[in-house]
A and B are shown apart, each in its own frame.
Chain A
Amino acid sequence: MQLSLLNRGDEQYSQVSPQTVEHLSLHRMISFICENPQKRKAFLKYLTRLPSSPQDVQYRQAVFKDFIQFPALLSQMSDLMERFGKCKTAREQYRRNRLKNLRDASMQIFCEAARTDMRTSALNLKTCLLFVKALFQLLEEFPVSSTGLQEMRTEAEKLSTSPAFSELISLCSRLEFFGSSEPIDIRVELNELGMIKNASLIDHHFIRIIDPDRKSKRMFFKKSKESEDAPSIKLAVSNHTVYNRLISQPLYELANLFDQLNGEILDRFCEIENELIFFEVGALYYNFLQQKRVPIVFPTFAETEKWQVSGLYDLFLLTFKKTEEIIPHSITFDEKGCVIFGNNGSGKTVFLRSIGSMQLLAQAGLPVPADQCLLKIRKNIVTLFAASEEKNCDDAGRFEQEVRYFSEKLQEILPESLVLLNEIFQTTAYEEGARGLADILTYFSEDHISWLCVSHLKQLQNHLPKSRTNYIYLDTFHPSLQKAEMQNK
């Protein structure tokens, strides 16, 4: 089983499009706080694969809290994992080269090539085993409380403190240094047709050679048995092909076995290296919020359709504005859909971005810059921004491009998703655009899809069913937004 600090097990994910991350300007915010492009890329990738249950998010939150509490653990573990990553690279390189090396070896050096192959593979496994031991020793130093880190410690402990672990390391060491001057001893078993079924390498101490001429006696396992043993037979090896195969096969099989075990251990821990990047960048984000002296909260999650957020700061504004220049938003409503009207520059898009970023980061298991944050887990977060902001350059008109783009995105929008719409369908006659958009928004609500729509299409009010209470219309004068809008102005 693969160990993970981000996921509890085989949970379901909410797939978020990378475009959504960009629409919410999260890539720009992360670029501001993290200089390493590889780490930025890895972090943003994790933002596109979100847990889809409160328990899964809480699992991540707990690990994140441990790393915030013990920054040394995060940094030492990252170093260790980087070295572990090299084990993986070494194995990949070994696997790439081994067949070529064996293929290229002439018959004279074929056995030697097989011996080298086994020794390399033994060394790789030993390095990997020693890493597990080091991981356990590191985790033992910190009193972590998260399930993720505790389980990892238990797993590493279970492996590295077992007698079998020591035995395996000792066998790796024995065969890692299996020198070319050592005798090769093989136990041969014939199958039901008298063919050599198994040829296995055995330790030399199992061999009792009784020279028929009684001239020389080799090592004896039990001397008292010597007289009972049948005399050994001297082999005049003539067919080198058969014997080269006979000798190299067990060495090659041992190499395979070492490699297989190496792979299994690597598989168990391999994802941790990448996952730690998520927590590293997450810690940078946390430090950034602390430097900005904004409130930081780990969101809580409601089972029902509910948003209760107060004092929420827009992350992107924080990257280039002083904290005191930014007015935080507060929003509380239970309805599924929300249209946001407002004059140009009134902060509609900032509002939409703040809500979207908050939802995405909260669901990724990270804290958000707010006083209070209660929300619902979404199956997906989809952004639909006006075509003018896209890079469509085919012959179709802008409205057609929007419609086509919309239709492509529609397959991502599942029930229980959150859809953020920004000034779409405004590239046609407003009445027609509004009618079409209203139909789509109505369908969303009927399909349990939550939505926030920033628009200039006032006609939406005529087409969205006013009589139904699960729709609300927010504009500059809506009571729940009035304060924020006025303050932003």
Chain B
Amino acid sequence: MKARSFLNLQGERRIPFSVFQDLQFAQIFSDDVVQVLSHPCDAAEIKARQDFFRLLENTDFFEKVSAFYTVLERLNKLEILKRQSANTVSRFWILKEQLKGYLDAHQALSLLKGCSLTDRIIEARSNSAHLNLLASVKADLAEMEHLLSTVQLFDLSFSVQSWLTPDHQSESFYERIVASAKSLGLKTEPQKSDSIPPDETLSHAVTALFPAQINALKTYHDRYDSLPIADFLNDRKELKFFLEVHRFTKKHSLPHCYPLIAPRKEIWATDAYDVFLISKNVNPVIPNDIFVTEEEPFFFLLGANGGGKTTYIRTVGINLILFLSGCPIFAKKAEIFPFDTVLSHFPKDECFTNVGRLDEEFLRVEEMLRQPNAFFLFNETFSGTDDQRGSQLALDVADKMKTHKKCGIFVTHFYEVEKADFPILQPLVDINAGNTRTYKITKKSKVSSSYAADILKKYRLDYQSLVKRRHGDAT
């Protein structure tokens, strides 16, 4: 199966759906794409897909892929129609179109040569059985088209009795009026009729009117009823993934790259963007660097409210998941290890379970940490308890991460963790410009105070504003 398909979705690796929820993927990509992204790849598959994405950036190749995709869309539509079509006549026409689509799909696929991913598919579908079928379809299609053209036109006469008869080169009133109007220099719009599916009665009547042609068509129908188009129908789903991601990358003209595959557990990226903010057309989006190494595999991220901590963790998570599916990532340059999975722990809405919120968080973290070769994203974990207990639990997690050399980032407001010996990331504030937030995250050893007071003042909820409000002169 691997060799016959654009995507290798057969591996064991999975990224839980909750991670996509936490990172707000639903607002960036369709469910189909998210479904593919939930199957992270190994290094070889990542490389093969990266090659394909790179080729898509070539206009010529992109057009060929789009053409192939259009044919596949049509094949899919025909398959649905075939299942729905109730009458004999329609089935012949649909079959003819399917045969045409089958030949077109082979032709369009053969034009995609030159990339490891497509080459393997073309090769797998070029065995002698396939080639023989193609030759037979080609020969029969011409004859089918001829037969169908002879049953395409007929007349219906409705009077006391209704009749179906062959057409004898009739000229319709519509055609005669249009011809006269044209001679007079009057413009007419083309006839716009809605397609009406023939009912069973009409279908039977057509069958009876053209018995010889219909018998011949039946032979072809029996021969090709089970045309092997399953591979192509699968290709359509898989190509959709590539095309959607490619279009997203093209639409948002920010720097993107195809990361190198790191041999050690690390993430190294310069000027990485939050794809979520890009998809929301936020302008400007401030890029950040990511440096997670074997020496420093775990960071606490502390600092000012609204300084970009969640954005940063999302930047890491989304770009990492894109990389693991062989997609381009939004960064200037990157080298990333192909982790088995990505796991996240974001605050959840309190729900009525038989355990408390803190216990629920604790249990979830414990479960996560059992996973080897994962990258971990913690966001405000243990915020369901007091400072002291929360800090202690966060430090316990950090100790486990360090002991087992696990990689991850932990966003928290527990400043106590700063005292322990873990690397700290922090939003950078420009003190020279009135403590303006820069949305840049930097590695720091010392953490400044929270800027919540600024926000309170902005909304006239600081002490002086509240006193003024009390005296009735608040604005």
Using CB atoms and an 8 Å cutoff, list the residues of chain A in contact with chain B.
Answer: 158-159, 162-165, 167-168, 171, 174-175, 183-204, 206-210, 221, 225, 229-230, 232-239, 242-243, 245-247, 249-250, 253-254, 257-258, 260-261, 264-265
Contact = CB atoms under 8 A, between A and B. Distances in A.
Contacts of A201: 172-174
Interface in B76-106: 81, 85, 89-94, 96-97
Nearest to B161: A234
12 contacts: A162-B183, A171-B180, A189-B152, A193-B94, A196-B197, A206-B171, A207-B155, A221-B168, A230-B166, A234-B161, A239-B200, A242-B199
Nearest to A185: B157
Given A165-B180, A195-B90, A264-B186, 5 more contacts: A183-B158, A185-B155, A233-B208, A260-B188, A265-B186
B interface majority secondary structure: mixed
B356 interface: no
B76 to A, nearest CB: 14
A26 to B, nearest CB: 40
B162 A250 contact: no
Interface of B: 81, 85, 89-94, 96-97, 151-159, 161-168, 170-181, 183-189, 191-202, 205, 208-210
A198 B158 contact: no
A243 B158 contact: yes
Contact of A167 (B89, B170, B180): B180
A265 B162 CA distance: 38
Contacts, number: 195
A304 B217 CA distance: 82
Contact of A192 (B85, B97, B198): B97
B194 A209 contact: no
A300 B187 CA distance: 40
Nearest to A265: B186
Given A185-B156, A197-B193, A207 B165 contact: yes
B177 A254 contact: yes
A239 B186 contact: no
A161 to B, nearest CB: 11
Given A183-B157, A183-B159, A208 B197 contact: no
A365 B90 CA distance: 67
A236 B154 contact: no
Contacts of B187: 264
B441 to A, nearest CB: 53
Nearest to A125: B177
Contact of B188 (A221, A229, A247, A261): A261
A168 B173 CA distance: 10
A166 to B, nearest CB: 9
A236 B200 CA distance: 11
B162 to A, nearest CB: 4
A190 B152 contact: yes
A260 B186 CA distance: 10
A165 B185 CA distance: 11
A380 B342 CA distance: 73
A159 B184 contact: yes
A242 B180 contact: no
Nearest to A190: B152
Nearest to B158: A184
B93 A261 contact: no
Contacts of B164: 232-235
A164 B184 contact: yes
B155 A193 contact: no
Contact of B173 (A192, A249, A254): A254
A195 B195 contact: yes
Nearest to B179: A164
Given A194-B94, A197-B195, A232-B164, A202 B201 contact: no
Contacts of A261: 177, 181, 186, 188
A164 B183 CA distance: 6
